[in-house]
Amino acid sequence: AQKITQTQPGMFVQEKEAVTLDCTYDTSDPSYGLFWYKQPSSGEMIFLIYQGSYDQQNATEGRYSLNFQKARKSANLVISASQLGDSAMYFCAMREGQSGYNKLIFGAGTRLAVHP
């Protein structure tokens, strides 16, 4: 079974609009972390936002917020006020367990295109 599922291969959004990128996960470990990374066409992986499984509040980082629904095992990324520079591939990833050295498991990614 897939540990991380991103069901949207591609998404379009108008500049200045908000967009939600979906991510569902599967784990039996009570302690885990969820991450979103952005990969522009240049190829680097840019960390955006992190949510811990025990965090009481949804994570926010500037225009990025994470809609964490633990019971549904979903961790959707919300980008508010989209900008042209947001056009990129977005990956959801999970770290199982509490140890800092646990590997990240990535989803297949969602390609976001922001239109003017």
The site for other proteins (CB under 8 A) is made up of: 33, 35, 37, 42-47, 50, 52, 91, 93, 95, 98-109
Which residue lies nearer to other proteins by CB, 38 or 82? 38
Which residue lies nearer to other proteins by CB, 37 or 82? 37
| Closest approach of other proteins to the CB of residue 14, in Å | 26
Question: How many residues make up the chain in this entry?
Answer: 116
| Closest approach of other proteins to the CB of residue 15, in Å | 26
- Which DSSP string do the residues of 45-68 spell out, in sequence order? -EEEEEEETT-SS--EETTEEEEE
CA atoms of 46 and 44, how far apart (whole Å): 6
| Closest approach of other proteins to the CB of residue 17, in Å | 27
| Closest approach of other proteins to the CB of residue 113, in Å | 16
| Residue closest to 22 by CA, chosen among 85, 78, 72 | 78
CB atoms within 10 A of CB 43: 7
Which residue lies nearer to other proteins by CB, 25 or 37? 37
Which residue lies nearer to other proteins by CB, 42 or 57? 42
CA atoms of 19 and 57, how far apart (whole Å): 20
